A and B are shown apart, each in its own frame.
Chain A
Amino acid sequence: MTRVKRSVHYMLLILIALLMMAPLLLGIWASLLPTTDIVAGHFTSLNISLTNYVNAIKTTPVVLYMWNSLVMSTLIMLGQFVFCTLAAYAFAFLQFRFKNGLFFAFLITMMLPFEAQIIPNFQTVRALGWLDSYPGLTIPFFTSAFGVFMLRQAFLQVPNELKEYSDLIGLGRLQFLWRIVLPYSRSTLITFGLYTFLTHWNQYLWPLITTFSDAHRPTQVGLKQLQAEDTFSNWGVIMATAILVLLPTLLILIVGQRYFRKGLNAGGVKG
């Protein structure tokens, strides 16, 4: 590339990156400004401070919401780890009747929209007395067809020799899974874990209908709650809470970027 062409390219990249990041950058900027300046339209004001963050933490339950989200997402991640690993192990290594039929029955659920299951799920959880509780928020998500599929694909790549070797030295099934299969599939497991955590931290519809109190309300629905209350006119504080809520996932994404790309491509390439 010539120098002119190169600098044009850089200008274009910078311009587009700024445009793409504008909503986020403006949000961060607004969260640092006093609301009086925002309302007056003084966006170039330099009265920046962390006051909005202090107020958000002191006057709103945002920290409690974040704790709820952390507990919820971690429980779901662990639950899926256990159940999806075991199911994927069965589909990858064991021989049993109707194996292909059952696997197909798993996969087909990936096509069914959650919206079409949400009403009976709500009724089930209500009947179990799990509304507005951690079990109600987490247990319905302990299995995932996507997770089983992703882990099965990874497990199938474990070389046969390792299986033969583990039989030879007399490892049981669970030991084989724990000591050989899981370490071998480490990068898929990390992708899967990050993905699950991110998805459920960001979940909205289910917590919206099953939580009623601040004690169990996770962050995403908490944002709606804060917006509905009179804090809404206080733009500085609402922006600060939004930034606080998106910060963990943004960090996970930036740190785990390369895992996501690898995992995504494994899904994108048919095989």
Chain B
Amino acid sequence: MAVFTYYPMIMTVINSLFATNLTGKAANFVGVGNYVTIFSDPLFFKSLGNTFIFVAVTSVSTIALALILARLATQRLRGAGFFRTAFASTMGVSAAAASILWLFLFNPSVGLISILLKMIGFAQVNVLTNPTGAMIAVILSSVWMGSGFAFLNLLGALQSVPQDYYDVASLAGWSNWRQTWKITIPMVSPTLFFLIVVEVIGAFKTFTQIDLITGGGPDNTTNFIAYKVYQDAFNYRNIGIASAEAIVLTVIIALATWVQFRFTERKVYYQ
């Protein structure tokens, strides 16, 4: 724990204050110089902006999708167990394997998504070389990968909501939509809050999909911060810059988590 968690954390802060020489060793003390460098680099801001878009869209969509799936799968029906397993199954697929599955779907010549796009009249069929297309592709695959985990969480929470509430609401003529909004969401709000925190942190750290599906491209559109840290550290061997970026990422995650606790938790309803 000390050697592989606290020591590296401190070393990262120290490294971020040094310039690195050609052998990749932190050599000269430059103070906040690395931070000045990254904050005056337009590429870093592009990475930051795209990371925020990705995190917001992915975490909200994942949770919304999982909530719909969980609502459908908790109705009293025969065979519900089968559908639960089907909806949870993406949790058993690793990010790397899932990336290969999606890479196949997006492939310009054999991918089903490309073929479908061609059928409805899109001229450009290589989704991954188009900046918007690549972003959508990474979001789609990430939402798919994350939905199983969110679904299993919400399923457990939904099952603890007494069926009577829905029965009364149905008698009163409430629509499904209104029942979800007025009964389900308040009742499972602790789980939703937990999921939002976890999904946002997870999305900030997205790496595997980027490495396998887009490689950060095209034109750095999907080069999110976690991936940029890796590239700067292990491809360009610039430990100082990479460490400074890693610290920025840590601070952003901590801030995002703090904001959620400060402003969202008040709305959470604990029984």
Contact = CB atoms under 8 A, between A and B. Distances in A.
Real binding pair:
yes
Interface of A: 6, 9-10, 12-13, 16-17, 20-21, 23-24, 26-27, 30, 38-39, 41, 43, 106, 109, 111-124, 139-141, 143, 145, 198, 201-202, 204-205, 208-209, 219-221, 223-224, 227, 235, 238-239, 242-243, 245-246, 249-254, 257, 260-262, 264-265, 267-270
A interface, over-half SS? helix
A115 B72 contact: no
Given A116-B249, A145-B5, A268-B190, 16 more contacts: A16-B72, A17-B83, A24-B101, A26-B104, A111-B253, A113-B249, A119-B8, A124-B4, A208-B211, A227-B103, A238-B100, A239-B100, A242-B101, A245-B96, A253-B148, A257-B88
Interface string B82-107: 01111111111111111111111101
B233 A119 contact: yes
25 contacts: A12-B72, A13-B73, A13-B77, A20-B86, A20-B89, A20-B144, A23-B144, A24-B90, A38-B110, A41-B115, A112-B9, A119-B8, A119-B15, A119-B233, A204-B95, A204-B211, A208-B211, A220-B208, A223-B100, A224-B212, A245-B96, A245-B97, A253-B148, A262-B156, A270-B194
Contact of A246 (B12, B94, B190): B94
Contacts of B90: 20, 24
A113 B9 CA distance: 9
Nearest 9 CB-CB pairs, A to B? A253-B92, A120-B8, A202-B94, A120-B11, A117-B8, A250-B92, A220-B96, A246-B97, A116-B246
Nearest to A199: B94
Contacts of B157: 265, 268
Interface of B: 1, 3-9, 11-12, 15, 69, 72-73, 75, 77, 83-105, 107, 109-110, 112, 115, 144, 147-149, 152-153, 155-157, 190-191, 194-195, 201, 204-205, 207-208, 211-212, 226, 229-230, 233-234, 239, 242-243, 246-247, 249-250, 253-254, 257, 270
A141 B149 CA distance: 22
Nearest to B99: A223
A119 B241 CA distance: 11
A20 B69 contact: yes
Contacts of A43: 112
Contacts of A116: 8-9, 12, 246-247, 249-250
B89 A224 contact: no
Given A268-B194, A270-B190, A260 B152 contact: yes
Contacts of A114: 205
B229 A115 contact: yes
B211 A253 contact: no
B153 A264 contact: yes
A26 B112 contact: yes
A111 B9 contact: no
A9 B12 contact: no
B234 A235 contact: no
Nearest to A246: B97
Given A9-B77, A16-B69, A202 B96 contact: yes
A244 to B, nearest CB: 9
A145 B109 CA distance: 46
B100 A20 contact: no
Given A115-B246, A205-B208, A249-B92, A23 B102 contact: yes
A204 B96 contact: yes
Nearest to A245: B97
A21 B86 contact: yes
Contacts of A139: 4
Contact of A250 (B69, B73, B89, B156): B89
Contacts of B4: 117, 121, 124, 139-141, 143
B72 A113 contact: no
A24 B90 CA distance: 8
A17 B110 contact: no
A31 B242 CA distance: 39
A119 B250 contact: no
B3 A124 contact: yes
B104 A264 contact: no
Nearest to A260: B152
B89 A24 contact: yes
A181 B68 CA distance: 39
Nearest to B205: A113
A248 to B, nearest CB: 9
